[in-house]
Amino acid sequence: MSKYKPPYTLTSKMLTLVSEISEVITEIKHAEKKIITPKLRKKNMVRSITGSLQIEGNSFTEEKVTAILDGKRVLGTVQEIAEVEGAIKAYNYLNEYNYSKLEDLFLAHKFMMSGLLTNAGHFRSKNIGIYGKSGVTHIAPPPDRVQYLMNDLFDWLKNTKDHKLIVSSVFHYEFEFIHPFSDGNGRIGRLWQTVILRSYRDLFSIIPVESVVKDNQQKYYKALEEAGKIGESTPFVEFILVMILKSLRNITKKSNQKSNQKSNQKILSLIKNDNCITIRTMCEKTKLSESGVKKIIKKLKDNKLLLRVGGLKGGHWEIVN
């Protein structure tokens, strides 16, 4: 067994982010059955695929990716369609991969790139460089070193006791540094981080971190470059943890919005049936607290959806159409 450990420094920022992520996961877990529906799983898989491919220059929108997923024909280049079809195959197998098995990584690459590469599922045999706006930003290790480096990385992945949130982020950087395949490294690196995260919490199988990374694409590249300059993944790990936290908060935000909409409709429905209804009766009917009902009423008033005519005694409510 290799004693290799990827270089990174455990910072207070990382620990704070891990703590905040854990809190949001706990919050989601209480409403997980209501939040995680088949519809949401499909929608967020599409968002993950679209975000990851757009980072690599694919122009397909979520609507087009959804159409291909549904077996419909779409207009696009042969390459872009092949990229989407390969990503769908790779992500469809998400829950079956063993994050610590190198052969499963090969399988994911084969799914992802079989319509694009003749050597899909195999390490590269040539030197490769990563290019940015200013030219070459990184020269990957020579091909004869790739097998050894990947063996070391997977040995560490299999045996490390570090927190999975940090481990997945470190792996993501180290994978991009090695750049083991002739193409598709970015897509596979992002996918495999999700695979590692899913082994920590199944919830991550439907969290589209790739979509948030796409929205912060330049910061993503900058974090990779900063890590490369100092020779350890620390700045990249901190960046990715922020992206994970944002992705989770997006889920809770949408869940809260849906919950608020339902509460708004309940209050409006009660008022429609009885425009003289009291706050106390609303609380009893909705099982909400008095402060909760008052907050909803204030919001409805602020949005000009509800009016109070007269005082609390002798007055009545009016719904604004």
pLDDT tens digits for range 68-112: 999 999 999 999 999 999 999 999 999 999 999 999 999 999 999
**DSSP string computed for 99-139:** TT-HHHHHHHHHHHHTTT-TTTTS---S--EEEETTEEEEE
**Which pLDDT score, from 0 to 100, does residue 135 have?**
66
136: β partners: 131
**Which pLDDT score, from 0 to 100, does residue 259 have?**
67
Q: What three-state secondary structure class fits 163?
A: coil
- Closest Cα partner for 171 from 146, 196, 147, 148? 196
Residues 247-266, mean pLDDT to the nearest whole number: 77
Where does the pLDDT of residue 254 fall: very low under 50, low under 70, confident under 90, or very high at 90 and above?
low
Where does the pLDDT of residue 271 fall: very low under 50, low under 70, confident under 90, or very high at 90 and above?
confident
Q: Are 188 and 181 in contact (CB under 8 A)?
A: yes
- Closest Cα partner for 261 from 269, 273, 271? 269
Task: Return left, alpha or beta for 132; rule: phi > 0 is left, psi -120 to 50 is alpha, else beta.
Answer: beta
Tokens of 317: 């409510």
Tokens of 294: 């008052």
- Entry field: residues in the chain: 321
Strands (E) located in 199-315: 306-309
Q: Are 316 and 275 in contact (CB under 8 A)?
A: yes
**Residue 67 CB-half CA count within 13 A:** 11
- Closest Cα partner for 208 from 27, 62, 60, 59? 62
pLDDT tens digits for range 299-320: 888 888 888 888 877 788 888 8
Q: What domains are there in the chain, each with its CATH number? A: 12-254 (1.10.3290.10), 274-319 (1.10.10)
b/e string for 289-315 if b means 16 or more Cβ within 10 A?
A: eeeebeebbeebeeeeebeeeeeeeee
Where does the pLDDT of residue 245 fall: very low under 50, low under 70, confident under 90, or very high at 90 and above?
very high
Q: Are 29 and 183 in contact (CB under 8 A)?
A: no
- Closest Cα partner for 194 from 208, 177, 213? 208
Q: How far apart are CA 82 and CA 292, in angstroms?
A: 50
